[in-house]
Structure 1
Amino acid sequence: MNLHEYQGKSILTKFGVPIQNGYAADTVDEALEKYDQLAKETGSPFAVVKAQIHAGGRGKGGGVKLAKNREEAKQHISNILGMQLKTPQTPGGMEGPGKQVNKILVAEDAYAPDFDANKEYYVSILMDRERKQNVIIHSTQGGMDIEAVAEETPHLVHKTYIDPELGMQGFNAREVAFNLGLEGTAFKNMTKFISKLYQAYLGADATLIEINPCLHTGDDRIVAVDCKFSLDDNALYRHKDLAEMRDTTEEDPTEVEAQSHGLNFVNLDGNVGCMVNGAGLAMATMDIIKLSGGEPANFLDVGGTADAARVEQAFRIILRDDRVEAILINIFGGIVRCDRVAQGVVDAYKNIGDIKVPIIVRLQGTNADIAKELIDNSGLNVRSAISLQDAAEEVKAVLA
């Protein structure tokens, strides 16, 4: 689950990580109230107005603006709130539809008073699955173009691995500070920053924390100016307060609806919809589709209780995608009986009506023979298959 910047920073604060202070707002009037409050707290009319969407590169799309006074703040707030913000990371990139900005963050100008005395670093923590260790990725080249740094000058990107048995040690934090070329007070502050950031990563069951930029101020403070924070969905039961931070308006509406029906669904870009019970079988089914010359239009796991209601909802969700030219249903009847799934397919087909794309159903397991007979005698535009190879051939035939 992805969080907004202001939400991620609220978690960092709980673990003692220094942040760029600010206030979130939903309306222009509320944002101006937060600006006045911030100006009183900092004693400065300078503030940064930041769009809050689940995508990076906001500055490139005009979603981050510095205001030097209240009038400029009002102008930036009015322009950013409600805009369709396009960044390299929004759907379709800079040429796509972008994302609507429904919330902004009015933050202090952490770079004051001497802009030139500040330095920007890049710091992130995530899991390196190949090494089975958490890794702290860091670079002296922080800012908007860190992707270009990683591609063009990879020697400037450093990695510090954390032994899972030992956990974060003092020498790990010092290694980061050394690699960033720090010394004196800044060195000590960076080691504290990294240690507390790692505590936040573990404490919140995060899958990613990215601080870009991580600011080294002229007076040697280390501050998280931006924050990208992703949580492990499977650990949210331990963090009900964090689960409440979910913003479904930032997610694919089809995926949100599927989740409400107990379906595990991910939108893809292909032409063959798939409906499967079990994540492993779903991955194998997607391979079958590709081997047959098609491309998966989605990942959809109906789970172990593939009853008629779930099957119908799955059908409706898949059929919303105009690119779908065929649907492959691949069910292994272990917990669930194949004949019940087959009857669910027939009932769902009749309830929806006028399904124009061909449907291939491969049912294997308990009562598979009865299920095949139900499908074959339904009189519907549904083809049955027994083996994976049969299913692949049927997909190839309908796409030809």
Structure 2
Amino acid sequence: MKLYEYEAKQLFSLYNIPVPEYGLARTPEEAREITERLGGKSVLKAQVLVAGRGKAGGIKFAESPQEAYELAKELLGMEIKGEKVNSLLISKIVSIDRELYLSIVIDRSVGAASILASSEGGIDIEELAAKSPEKIIRVYVDPLVGLKPYHVRRITESINLSDEQKKVLQDIILSLYRLFVEFDCELAEINPLAVDKEGKLVPVDAKVIIDDNALFRRKEFAERVSAELSEFELEAKKYGFSYVELDGDIGIIGNGAGLTMATMDVVKLYGGKPANFLDIGGGARA
């Protein structure tokens, strides 16, 4: 389950990871009020779960409370890659000097958590890994051993920072790992982890994905999932089916995700519009 940025930052605050001051706005009036509270300037960030919101126009900078109000009117209700914007994160603007990258992700190929760090942040980590893999520091953490000081030192000593900044980075890594483990995460990412003009490390953006299989332990998020599902999607979920409601008029039932996707592609190729994606799980014998 993907969390919205504001939800991820709430978790960061819970684990004492410093984030810029922010507020959540669901109306233009709230955006104006929050911007006033932040000192008159702010960045407005559309709260959607799809990637690429910046390039899609989902991030705007306001130089005054009134401008925040006008920008919020534009952003609220817009669609970004098919997802409607219902809320905005209104954040204090960070004066960025340089950008770093930090994340923890489950690497199923080795059965361990992988901590990734780079002195180049604010970009797609997969793109960086493909073009310049030597710029990424990768540390594997055995779940039976846990995070140790030598893991953290390998990262902090590989990035050009002052001793004080390394200490802060160490604390952020330790806190992020605790969050990652205790909230059953598949991913916990800070991109970028900014170094501001005063030399402070500031997580500008936050991304957290929680393992769906652990949602029974996180009722606050499980309830949100249920609230966002349609009646049919909820019913399918009860029986363990993968079902997504679409806006077409041709029902699709498939035996395995690959076959279901291929069937949908063929339907669209011949001018049809699928009404749903329904994978009954594979393994059918008749």
Both structures adopt the same fold (TM-score exceeding 0.5): yes
CA deviation after TM superposition for structure 1 residue 267, in Å: 5.3
Q: Which residue, 233, 253, 277 being the options, matches 1:256?
A: 233
> What is the rounded CA distance, in whole Å, between the counterparts of 1:330 and 1:143 in structure 2?
42
Q: Secondary structure at the match of 1:109?
A: coil
| Higher normalized contact order (CA 8 Å, seq sep 6+, divided by chain length) | 2
More helix by share: 1
Q: Report the CA distance between 1:61 and its aligned residue.
A: 1.1
Task: Decide which of 83, 105, 118 is 1:99's aligned counterpart.
Answer: 83
8 A contact 2:35–2:64 mirrored in 1: no
CA 62–256 in structure 1, closer or farther in 2 if over 3 Å, else same:
same
Deviation at 1:183, TM superposition (A): 2.7
How far the C-alpha of 1:213 sits from its partner, in A, is: 0.8
Is the contact between residue 272 and residue 295 of structure 1 (CA under 8 Å) also seen in structure 2? no
> What letter is aligned with 2:84?
Q
Structure 1, residues 27-78: CA drift from partner, whole Å, max 9, x if none?
11222222223x2xxxx32211000000222111111111121122112211
Where structure 2 has 5 or more consecutive residues not aligned to the other structure, the ranges are 266-271
The alignment of Structure 1 onto Structure 2 pairs a total of residues equal to 274
The AA in structure 2 aligned to 1:321 is P
SS in 2 for 1:202: helix
Q: C-alpha separation between the residues in 2 aligned to 1:265 and 1:214?
A: 35
- Of all paired residues, the percent bearing the same amino acid is 28
* Distance across 1 between alignment mates of 2:238 and 2:110: 36
Q: Confirm or deny: 8 A CA contact 1:273 1:328 kept in the other structure.
A: no
- What pairs with 1:3-152 in structure 2 (closer than 5 Å)? 3-37=3-37, 39=38, 44-85=39-80, 90=81, 98-111=82-95, 115=96, 118-152=97-131
**DSSP-derived class of the 2:129 partner:** helix
The match for 1:201 among 180, 185, 189 is 180
The whole-number CA distance in structure 2 between the counterparts of 1:105 and 1:322 is: 33
Residues in 1 aligned to 2:182 and 2:242: alpha-carbon distance in whole angstroms: 28
Aligned residue type for 2:79 = Q
One-letter amino acid of the structure 2 residue matched with residue 175 of structure 1? R
| Structure 1 runs not aligned, ≥5 long | 91-97, 276-281, 299-318, 333-361, 363-400
C-alpha distance in 2, partners of 1:247/1:144?
A: 32
Q: Offset of 1:224 from its aligned partner?
A: 1.5
Cα distance per residue 1:306-358 (max 9 Å; x no partner): xxxxxxxxxxxxx982699xx999656xxxxxxxxxxxxxxxxxxxxxxxxxx
**Contact between 1:255 and 1:265, CA under 8 Å: does it hold in 2?**
no
**Runs of 4+ displaced beyond 6 Å:** 327-330
Shift of 1:188: 0.7
Mapped contact 1:122–1:140 kept (Cα < 8 A): yes
- Matching of residue 225 in structure 1 with residue 204 in structure 2: yes
Write the letter of the residue equivalent to 2:154.
E
Q: 1:9 and 1:216 mapped to 2: Cα distance? A: 18
State the secondary structure of the residue aligned to 2:186. Answer: strand
* CA distance in 1: counterparts of 2:19 and 2:204, whole angstroms: 6
**What are the residue-to-residue correspondences of 1:353-368 with 2, within 5 Å?**
362=286
Residues 252, 274 of structure 2: 8 Å contact kept: no
Which residue pairs with 1:295 in the alignment? 262
Offset of 1:147 from its aligned partner? 4.1
Q: What are the within-5 Å matches in structure 2 for residues 147-162 of structure 1?
A: 147-162=126-141
- Whether the aligned pair in 2 keeps the contact of 1:3 and 1:245 (CA below 8 Å) is no
| SS of the residue 1:60 aligns to | coil
Distance in 2 between the 1:106 and 1:328 partners?
A: 41
